[in-house]
Chains A and B, each alone.
Chain A
């Protein structure tokens, strides 16, 4: 009986682990091999070409910095925008809870590209939205929103908002309301109850949402391609152009690894700061 207990987890894990190892880990190793080659498609040769990595860092430092800036700002905005909505759905929505959740997820079903292209229409110079922004002074008289960093960030915020809302909602939903009541019984104001009780208890959700937003946003290229101009391209655009237009697989592979490594560094710092149980779910019951 005890032995069966011990191998059961391995059986449960088996298919998933094999799949991920074979189709995620192994390809990465191959990409590593590729990153040490030189030449372009049609004439690749392995040559321990560490130069690809130093090139990656030196040639594209602007795009790296820009990517982290855009995704950082976008993540922050997402957090500020998502939290109230998640809070409302968790605590104030009652019967409308599921409907609201669906309202959050449903736009996903209209395809990433179409949503981004719709923003091209919404943010074009003559649109009422931009007119309103000019009126509010947020955009200079002759300025435009499209083909600027602002438009790219706006696109990122829109496309990754569900990734922020859902985890925060999930952790808010699990909070026992009686705890908040207890705080209020102990003379805490609404605000204090929120800050001292709700907010810390929703921390796992915030951490998860932040990571699920920041990480893919940093590698995104669709928003920059359609909403930005030459000066707003992100590192994802560079990788895409290296793979598709320049067919320089080694450089693209090296750049991809550097991107992953940098993201990992940021994430590790963040987790150290935020606490790792939130992410890894170390608890067992």
Chain B
């Protein structure tokens, strides 16, 4: 071992020590949630994190209107691309009781529950959100994961089901049809575990709301088989939209809001309610621990629950709106949208649908791992 090697080794040890030392500094106390403390009239600035393209944009968009009406400065960021990814990004901050400057963000049901279980979210002070109390549609008032809506307020809701090229695959009416060899190589599945696998479960006759870990694994196996046989063209986020448009895929598991958009340019594409039912989910506004200016955040929640304001958002986003009264507004201004089952689903339409299935702590890792093994081939 020459001198050079020795000094290299010494340098390496020093750096390792530095790294470990820094690592030790990293731990912090966890958050315990707590309740939002309102402070007088809403004012100042607020930072909101949301999914991309989930709000009407531009100079006359809801964000600008809110700023004008309330005098609150809004920094609206679209950096939530995936629940797990967002969790990974936020967890170290939330663990320390910080939110990275965000006063409010929007995550799907299961992630909201997970975060609340970990003490990362604050309970809402309902006195500042009377519009929510008044206008929240009944079907979303007492969801399983947050029965009293203590920490979450729905932003938009949606359905996961079948999206079909009616000219190329008119007979697809259930998830099981997607496994028909007739459509080999022309079917897209969503890469989202909690959308695809419960739907596949319904094909086997299992109720996703009561599924055991074994049920999840069985459904994953079924999907794995379909990958191996070439039945599934690919797993996608939103890009099934591209495949359906070009005809590369004739049917896909997809989201109701996308179907409305796709139909605008392509009348042959339509959302089909699967025979065994669809998955119902919502994306929820939550206030994290360490949120600066929670008063303004609640003011935002209250603002978007006014039917006129919500109507603007609903018109752009085309998902299921959680606010009562928007349908009446659309009946006058946008009659086709008012008729749409996809934006105002009747109880009849969603009679077989199930709310998004939950995975508890023990199940989460093995199931996620098995699913990712299928996705990554």
Least CB separation from B246: chain A residue? A124
Contacts A147-B233, A230-B235, A247-B84: A30 and B376 contacting too (C-beta < 8 A)? no
Q: Mark B108-124, 1 if CB is under 8 A from A, else 0.
A: 00000000001000000
- In whole Å, how far is B369's beta carbon from the nearest beta carbon of chain A? 7
Q: Which residue of B lies closest to A244 (CB)?
A: B85
Which residues of B are found within 8 Å of A231, using beta-carbon distances? 227, 377
Stretch at the interface among A78-86, A208-216, A235-243: A235-243
Taken together as a complex, chains A and B put the C-alpha atoms of A21 and B11 apart, in Å, by 11
Whether B20 is near chain A, meaning CB under 8 Å from some CB there, is yes
- With a CB–CB cut-off of 8 A, which chain A residues contact B376? 60, 63, 230, 233, 237-238, 241
Q: Are B82 and A230 in contact (CB under 8 A)?
A: no
A126 contacts the other chain (Cβ, under 8 Å)? yes
A247 with B377: CB separation less than 8 A: no
Given contacts A144-B185, A144-B248, contact A30 B227 (CB under 8 A): no
- Selected from A32, A41, A245, the residue in CB contact (under 8 A) with B368 is A245
Query: Within 8 Å of chain A (Cβ to Cβ): is B9?
Result: no
A87 sits at the interface (CB 8 A): no
Chain B hits for A126, CB < 8 A: 246-248
Q: Which of A138-155 contact B (CB under 8 A)?
A: 144, 146-147
With an 8 A cutoff between CB atoms, is B211 at the interface? no
- Decide if B88 touches A244 in the complex (CB within 8 Å): yes
The complex places the Cα of A127 from the Cα of B243 at a distance, in Å, of 12
The residues of B that contact A232 with a CB separation of less than 8 Å are 377
The answer to whether B248 touches A146, judged by C-beta atoms less than 8 angstroms apart, is: yes
Chain B, 217-244, contact with A by CB distance < 8 Å: what is the 0/1 string? 0000000000100001111000100110
A125 in contact (CB, < 8 A): yes
Asked if B84 contacts A26 (CB within 8 A), the reply is no
When A40-B365, A120-B242, A230-B227 are in contact, do A241 and B375 touch as well, CB less than 8 Å? yes
Bound: A282/B84 CA distance, A:
47
Q: Beyond A29-B15, A124-B246, A228-B234, is A244–B84 a contact (Cβ under 8 Å)?
A: yes
| Other-chain contact of A247, B88, B246, B247 (Cβ < 8 Å) | B88
B interface SS class: helix
A26 & B235 in contact (Cβ 8 Å cutoff): no
Q: How far is the CA of A126 from the CA of B247 in the complex (A)?
A: 8
Q: Once the chains are docked, how many angstroms separate the CA of A206 from the CA of B88?
A: 41
Which A residues are in CB contact (< 8 Å) with B373? 59
- As a 0/1 sequence over residues 9 to 52 of chain B, the CB contacts with chain A under 8 angstroms (1 = contact) are 00010011011101100000000000000000000000000000
A246 with B372, Cβ < 8 A, contacts A30-B19, A30-B22 known: yes
CA distance A144 to B184 in the complex (A): 12
Which of B12, B234, B235, B247 has the largest number of chain A CB atoms within 10 A?
A: B234
Q: How far is the CB of B335 from chain A (nearest CB, A)?
A: 34
Q: Decide if A230 touches B375 in the complex (CB within 8 Å).
A: yes
Let me know if B87 is at the binding interface, CB within 8 A. yes
Interface size on B, residues (CB 8 A): 38
Question: How many contacting A-B pairs (Cβ < 8 A)?
Answer: 102
For chain A, residues 32 to 48, give those with C-beta under 8 angstroms from any C-beta of chain B: 32-33, 40-42
Question: Which residues does chain B contribute within 8 Å of A242, judged by CB atoms?
Answer: 372
- Determine how close the nearest CB of chain A comes to the CB of B74; give it in whole angstroms: 27
Q: How far is the CB of B302 from chain A (nearest CB, A)?
A: 32
Given contacts A25-B15, A33-B23, A41-B87, contact A230 B246 (CB under 8 A): no
Bits for A7-30, please: 1 = Cβ < 8 Å to B, else 0: 000000000000001000110011
Please indicate the chain B residues that have their CB under 8 angstroms from the CB of A127 in the complex.
Answer: 246
- Give the shortest distance, in Å, between A250 (CB) and chain B (any CB): 12
Q: Return chain A residues, CB-CB under 8 Å to B239.
A: 120, 226
B125 at the interface (CB under 8 A from A): no
Q: Is the CB of B15 within 8 A of A26?
A: yes
Instruction: Point out the residues of chain B lying under 8 angstroms from A237, CB to CB.
Output: 376
In angstroms, Cα B372 to Cα A238, docked, is 8
Residues of A with C-beta under 8 A to B87: 41, 247
Convert B47-76 into 0s and 1s, putting 1 for each residue whose CB lies closer than 8 angstroms to a CB of A. 000000000000000000000000000000
Are the C-beta atoms of A147 and B234 separated by less than 8 Å? yes
A-side interface size class: 35 or more
In angstroms, Cα B203 to Cα A157, docked, is: 41
**B369 contacts A246, C-beta separation under 8 Å:** yes
- A229 CB-CB contact with B under 8 Å: yes
Q: Is B258 an interface residue (CB 8 A)?
A: no
Q: Are B19 and A125 in contact (CB under 8 A)?
A: no
Tell me if B91 is interfacial: C-beta within 8 Å of chain A: yes
Could you tell me if B19 and A26 are in contact, using CB atoms closer than 8 angstroms?
yes
CA–CA, A126 and B95, complex, Å: 50
B185 cross-chain contacts in A, Cβ below 8 A: 144
Partner of B20, one of A33, A42, A247: A33
Asked if B280 is an interface residue, CB under 8 A from chain A, the answer is no
Q: Which partner residue on chain A sits nearest B365 by CB separation?
A: A40
Q: How far is the CA of A187 from the CA of B91 in the complex (A)?
A: 72
* In the assembled complex, B176 has its CB within 8 A of some CB on chain A: no
Q: A62-B377, A230-B376, A230-B377 are in contact. Are A245 and B85 (CB under 8 A)?
A: yes
In whole angstroms, what is the CA distance A154 to B232 when docked? 22
**Is B248 a contact of A125 with CB atoms below 8 Å?**
yes
Please name all residues of chain B whose beta carbon is closer than 8 Å to the beta carbon of A144 when the two chains form the complex.
Answer: 185, 233, 248
Cβ of B374 within 8 Å of any chain A Cβ, yes or no, is yes
Residues in A with CB closer than 8 Å to B372 are 238, 241-242, 245-246
- 14 A-B pairs, CB-CB below 8 angstroms? A26-B18, A32-B16, A33-B19, A41-B91, A124-B246, A125-B246, A146-B248, A147-B248, A230-B377, A233-B375, A238-B372, A244-B84, A245-B85, A247-B87
Q: A41-B87, A228-B234, A238-B372 are in contact. List 9 more A-B contacts (CB 8 A).
A: A26-B19, A29-B16, A30-B22, A33-B16, A62-B377, A124-B248, A144-B233, A229-B235, A244-B82
Binding site for A on B (CB under 8 A): 12, 15-16, 18-20, 22-23, 82, 84-85, 87-88, 91-92, 95, 118, 185, 227, 232-235, 239, 242-243, 246-248, 365, 368-369, 372-377
- Top 10 A-B pairs ranked by shortest CB distance? A229-B234, A29-B19, A244-B85, A124-B246, A30-B19, A233-B376, A230-B377, A231-B377, A245-B84, A233-B377
